[in-house]
Structure 1
Amino acid sequence: MELQQMRYVVAVAETNSFTRAAERCLVVQSALSHQIARLERELGARLFERTSRRVRLTPAGTAFLPAARQCLDAAERAAAEVAAAIGEVRGRLAVGVISTVAAVDIPAALRAFHQRYPQVRISLRVGPSEELVEQVEQGAIDVAFLGLPTTARPRGVAVHELARDRFVAVVAPDHPLAGEPAVDLRRLSAEVFVDLPADTAGRAHSDHAFATAGLDRDVAFEVTNADFLARLVGQGLGVAMLPAAYVPRLTGVVIIEVTDAPARVEYVAWSRSGPTPAASAFLTILDIDQAR
């Protein structure tokens, strides 16, 4: 079993196509197909179901894929550790962020990192905190920026607290509340809401606050992106609550203080087994203590 065969399997699984996988791996399709067939013979199981219309993983392929990714990640980290031992930072830096991250200017931080370590391949993905924590545990991403209620703390990862923040209400400029200096949760509960999807950490802040106050509310719109959320609010389709440090970058909405608003904590997280050399260098640029 060879690492290159694993790369081919991962590429086919991610593209659902032998042709696109070969293009990604810069090989001819026949060579890629031959290596996967050879691996399947060695394993004694088919990894893909092939039809004229699509390619998909078999149950054996589904079982094989996570381990293949882990092997590739381990090989990549081994090469990065060797480079670090001779004073070089190479490999990858996979960063995950919530859409409302405010404690760190992520684009500026990535720019500074890229200028200092141009040999590192950077990737970025946006998602909810609970998914990002899981991906850090699995090694799919190296560093994650999270936002959680003050009653929660990430588990299974190393973390550093970045900032604490309170939520504010955002409404359309012509909303009846737009002229108010402040509101409370009871008054807001009478409004239709735009919010993040249910059962996400971002949504938990508001859900918990209203539930603790014994209030119900109507969440009619669920979106995964805070900027799109604000666009819906700006059109008068509902109101929302967002972190105070994040909302100044939004346009087309009015910000109102909430007297009994929930709070959140922003964290940066990395693997409990220690950051990769690239992740360590990135955290150093952010002046984050990694000794925990």
Structure 2
Amino acid sequence: MNGVELRQLVYFDAVVRYGGFSRAAGALHVAQPAISAQVRRLEDELGVRLLARTTRRVGLTEAGELFLVRARRVLGELDAARDEAADLAAVLRGRVVLGASPVLAGLDLAAVLAAFAARHPGVHLTLRGGITAGLLADLDAGAVDLVLGPIHDEYRTRDRTATPLLDDELVLLTPPGHRRARSRSIALADLRDDPFVCLPPDSGLRQVLDDAADDAGFRAHVPFEVSTPGEVQALVAAGLGVALLAASTVTGSATVHRVRPALRHPPIGLLHRELSPAARALAAVLTDAASEVSERRAPSPG
């Protein structure tokens, strides 16, 4: 026995990831017999069957499930070590996963990422969208390097660094023909009997709405929950309800009103743990872009 080889771990992981030997061979550009032979040698070295082979599919045995976790951990550590070594080269290299909320206070994320990619072509950049609370779970699990989104007080922990970048005003949207359509400003309490369209309960915006309504003496009725500010505006335009949104996310011809008294959206910023050199470079680009946005923010309603 010569011990477990790295390529055996790579081949084993690929067979599981792609659902079979032939697909793994195609993805890795390796002959299928070579993959089959190496996986078999791995099993012989371990003295246990890792894969349950049938004529139609390849599945994991109980031992295979346990070994897969360890194998992927080893491969992940190797990738991390490779990235760290590459970061020391003259050309910045590495991998960065950015988690981004749909509420970005007017920041043109596409333009920022394009500029970063042009400046650092050696960095493999991945974008993952979602609600900030879910992205923070990914951050804590190590699946995301940076989270860009609203920074609520409860998001600040001892293990996370929070850097506010931009502020944003909250505004009210009413549908066509609404009784308050001509009002420049509306007290939230005046909409206590209206249905609201909002993001899901675990979103920061929903928390702001619930807290503001509670302060105004009522509980917001939210029969319509959607995933993005754009969907919120579409449902309001269709006459299905009113909405509270960050001013920077409002587009088109929506009827917009100031909230009385004024409400501020939690600051938009970066949340992260320890950063690699590549992730620090992305954070710097985002910070610079936010500074530019602060000078040309979308105008307030009215």
- TM over 0.5, shorter chain: yes
CA distance change for structure 1 residues 263 and 40 in 2, over 3 Å: closer, same or farther? farther
CA distance in 2, matches of 1:252, 1:200: 25
Q: Calculate percent identity across the aligned residue pairs.
A: 35
Q: How does 1:31-110 map to 2 (within 5 A)?
A: 31-32=34-35, 35=38, 39=42, 68-102=71-105, 104-110=107-113
Equivalent in the alignment of 1:154: 156
**Paired letter, 1:212:** D
Shift in Å, 1:76: 2.4
CA distance in 1, matches of 2:177, 2:25: 54
Shift in Å, 1:258: 1.0
Q: Indicate conservation of the 8 Å contact 1:148/1:202, yes or no.
A: no
Equivalent in the alignment of 2:292: none
Equivalent in the alignment of 1:276: 276
Give the 3-state SS of the residue equivalent to 1:152 in structure 2. helix
Structure with higher Rg: it is 2
**Paired letter, 2:260:** T
**Paired letter, 2:269:** Y
| 1:176 maps onto 2:179 in alignment | yes
**Paired letter, 1:236:** G
CA distance in 2, matches of 1:12, 1:202: 42
CA distance in 2, matches of 1:256, 1:47: 62
Q: Indicate conservation of the 8 Å contact 2:189/2:217, yes or no.
A: no
CA distance change for structure 1 residues 113 and 224 in 2, over 3 Å: closer, same or farther? same
Match for 1:227 among 207, 226, 230?
230
CA distance change for structure 1 residues 78 and 227 in 2, over 3 Å: closer, same or farther? same
Equivalent in the alignment of 1:133: 136
Match for 1:265 among 259, 264, 267?
267
CA distance in 2, matches of 1:182, 1:287: 32
Shift in Å, 1:184: 1.6
Structure 2 residue runs of 5 or longer lacking an equivalent are 289-302
Give the 3-state SS of the residue equivalent to 2:154 in structure 1. coil
Q: Indicate conservation of the 8 Å contact 1:129/1:201, yes or no.
A: yes
Deviation larger for 160-169 or 171-180: 171-180
CA distance in 2, matches of 1:183, 1:46: 68
Q: Indicate conservation of the 8 Å contact 2:198/2:222, yes or no.
A: yes
**Paired letter, 2:265:** A
Give the 3-state SS of the residue equivalent to 1:245 in structure 2. helix
CA distance in 2, matches of 1:200, 1:46: 45
The Cα offsets for residues 55-85 of structure 1, whole Å up to 9 and x where unpaired, read as 7767766666665555444322322222222
Equivalent in the alignment of 2:254: 253
Shift in Å, 1:114: 0.8
TM-score by length of 2: 0.78
Match for 1:117 among 111, 115, 120?
120
- Root mean square deviation, CA, Å: 3.2
Deviation larger for 14-23 or 279-288: 14-23
Q: Indicate conservation of the 8 Å contact 1:80/1:89, yes or no.
A: no
Q: Indicate conservation of the 8 Å contact 2:151/2:268, yes or no.
A: yes
Name the count of aligned residue pairs: 283
Give the 3-state SS of the residue equivalent to 2:169 in structure 1. strand
Structure 1 residue runs of 5 or longer lacking an equivalent are none
CA distance in 2, matches of 1:259, 1:233: 20
Q: Indicate conservation of the 8 Å contact 2:188/2:213, yes or no.
A: yes
